[in-house]
């Protein structure tokens, strides 16, 4: 139990030093509120469009070409200076890659700021010349804005990694089957099949919100590799001046209890300790290190994957929830990475005011889906997906002939004949 003397000491401290601490705290609070306000004002000026990707009857290209598309889209990364950030509210824009099931028909959408429309067109048509990308109305207007309600129920979540960002998921290359007639088993086959089996009044929404990032995550991944192989002087990339100051005083304090070694001792330790322990690692761990090195060699996108099942209450089926989660579980491996639901966002809750909390979470998540929300909040766990991982979870599928409900182009485009007269 705290004594009155201790409480008095704390109170006396704030009376003596509060005039210094309080303005600093208020400044940081005001700074964050100001940034949110100017960014909200800037967001209101953006014009968003929804593009539907329709694909030809026959797709003979693997998801690897979609990796080239995302490599080109990484050029969306823009640099924002201090004036643009704090005064004009500018920030790095994102796009939303969406695979949607609307009462039994499967659709591929891209929701994007209008300024990115041309670059998306050029990248898609460069790899899929027979595809069709057209601007359509936002499909979310087909449903009420206040779900869940008396007519519709909802289940949804946002996915998060099971390990650090640098660990790759099971990508499309692991689905290749060169010994069979098909060149590979399409990783989206189960999801597209599920969307095609939805009945009247049933909807499934999957959104992958992405925006390009720099090399910070790759430096963090390199630090992870150095630790795994036991590299000497493995050092984490500093995240800012405060961390560097803390590390300086930490090293200074440790030097008091651990005196520096003599040059002879340092030389003896260098001779006895190899540069790395790579040659002593078991084969499985060497494979993990190789996978990490390949993963961080590609461009990265900060990402949020949101999945949702909405249906009328009389046809709502929990089996569709299990099938939807299974479509993303196939990308998981035990020794590398995978997806799991974010329990802080998921609409299913086990304890304490269960119905009320599930209702509030459902309404919040449904609103995020309609807004394509990418806001920085404590409950949201963003991931870094590289171009190969993105091409795995969003690409033009090769199973269009097996799913007749998938929107596709019935006639193949062809070039006009040579010598055609024009007016």
pLDDT per position as a tens digit, 328-361: 999 998 889 999 999 999 998 877 888 888 899 9
Range from 94-98, 202-206, 277-281, 398-402 carrying the lowest mean pLDDT? 398-402
**DSSP conformational letter for 328:** H
Domain locations in the chain?
Answer: 40-218+289-409
**203 has a pLDDT exceeding 80:** yes
pLDDT at 401: 42
Percent of the chain residues topping a pLDDT of 70:
74
**60 has a pLDDT exceeding 80:** no
- The distance from CA 87 to its chain's CA centroid, rounded to whole angstroms, is 28
With cut-offs at 50, 70 and 90, classify the pLDDT of residue 50.
very high
Please work out, in degrees rounded to the nearest 5, the angle formed at the alpha carbon of residue 158 by the alpha carbons of 156 and 159: 125
Tokens linked to 33? 């509120």
**DSSP conformational letter for 259:** P
pLDDT by residue (tens digit) across 243-289? 555 555 556 555 555 555 556 555 555 555 555 666 667 777 788 88
Nearest to 155 by CA among 203, 190, 115: 203
Q: What average pLDDT does the segment 61-83 reach?
A: 88
Contact status, residue 168 vs residue 388, Cβ threshold 8 Å: yes
Block residue for tokens 């005039």:
19
Burial of 104 (0-12, 13-18, 19+ CB in 10 A): middle
With cut-offs at 50, 70 and 90, classify the pLDDT of residue 400.
very low
Look at 347 and 10; give whichever has higher pLDDT.
347
pLDDT at 107: 93
pLDDT at 245: 53
Coil, strand or helix: which one is 316? coil
**240 has a pLDDT exceeding 80:** no
322 preceded by a cis bond (ω within 30 of 0): no
Nearest to 165 by CA among 111, 217, 231: 217
Contact status, residue 330 vs residue 170, Cβ threshold 8 Å: yes
How do the residues of the chain divide into helix, strand and coil, expressed in percent and rounded to 5? 45, 20, 40
- The phi and psi torsions of 255 (rounded to 5 degrees) equal -65, -25
pLDDT by residue (tens digit) across 124-167? 998 888 888 999 999 999 899 999 999 999 999 999 999 999 99
Nearest to 388 by CA among 70, 59, 60, 61: 70
pLDDT at 228: 80
pLDDT at 271: 53
Residue 386: other Cβ atoms inside 10 A = 29
With cut-offs at 50, 70 and 90, classify the pLDDT of residue 423.
very low
Using CA of residue 388, residue 77, residue 370, residue 36, what is the dihedral sign? positive
Q: What average pLDDT does the segment 389-395 reach?
A: 93
pLDDT by residue (tens digit) across 287-327? 888 889 999 999 999 999 999 999 999 999 999 999 999 99
Burial of 35 (0-12, 13-18, 19+ CB in 10 A): middle
pLDDT at 399: 52
With cut-offs at 50, 70 and 90, classify the pLDDT of residue 405.
low
pLDDT by residue (tens digit) across 23-40? 777 788 888 888 888 888
Block residue for tokens 């100017």:
38
Q: What average pLDDT does the segment 226-246 reach?
A: 63
């Amino acid at each position: 139990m705290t004594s009155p003397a201790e409480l008095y000491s704390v109170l006396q401290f704030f009376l003596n030093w509060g005039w210094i601490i309080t303005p600093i705290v208020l400044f940081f609070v005001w700074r964050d509120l100001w940034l949110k306000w100017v960014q909200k004002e800037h967001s209101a000026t953006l014009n968003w469009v929804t593009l539907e990707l329709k694909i030809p009857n026959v797709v003979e290209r693997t998801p690897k070409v979609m990796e080239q598309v995302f490599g080109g889209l990484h050029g969306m990364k823009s640099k924002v200076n201090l004036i643009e950030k704090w005064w004009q509210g500018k920030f790095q824009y994102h796009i939303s890659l969406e695979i949607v099931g609307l009462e039994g028909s499967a659709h591929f959408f891209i929701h994007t700021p209008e300024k990115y429309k041309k670059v998306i067109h050029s990248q898609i048509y460069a790899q899929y010349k027979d595809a069709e990308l057209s601007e359509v109305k936002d499909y979310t207007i087909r449903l009420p804005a206040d779900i869940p309600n008396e007519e519709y129920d909802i289940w949804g979540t946002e996915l998060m990694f099971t390990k650090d960002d640098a660990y790759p998921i099971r990508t499309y290359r692991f689905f290749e089957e060169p010994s069979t007639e098909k060149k590979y088993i399409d990783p989206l086959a189960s999801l597209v099949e599920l969307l095609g089996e939805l009945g009247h009044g049933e909807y499934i929404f999957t959104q992958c919100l992405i925006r390009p990032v720099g090399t910070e995550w790759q430096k963090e991944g390199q630090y992870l590799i150095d630790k795994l192989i036991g590299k000497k002087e493995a050092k984490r990339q500093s995240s800012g001046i405060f961390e560097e100051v803390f590390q300086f005083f930490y090293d200074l304090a440790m030097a008091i209890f651990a005196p520096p070694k003599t040059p002879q001792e340092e030389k003896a330790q260098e001779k006895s300790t190899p540069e790395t322990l790579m040659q002593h690692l078991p084969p499985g761990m060497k494979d993990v290190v190789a996978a990490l090195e390949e993963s961080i060699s590609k461009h990265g996108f900060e990402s949020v994957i949101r999945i949702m099942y909405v249906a009328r209450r009389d046809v709502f089926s929990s089996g569709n929830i299990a099938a939807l989660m299974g479509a993303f579980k196939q990308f998981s491996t035990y020794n590398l990475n995978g997806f799991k639901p974010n329990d802080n966002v998921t609409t299913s809750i086990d304890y304490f005011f269960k119905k009320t909390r599930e209702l509030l979470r459902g309404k919040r998540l449904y609103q995020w889906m309609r807004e394509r929300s990418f806001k920085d909040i404590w409950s949201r766990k963003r991931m870094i997906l590289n171009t190969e991982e993105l091409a795995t979870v969003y690409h033009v599928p090769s199973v269009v002939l097996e799913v007749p409900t998938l929107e596709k182009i019935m006639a193949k485009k062809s070039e006009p004949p040579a010598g055609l007269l024009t007016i």
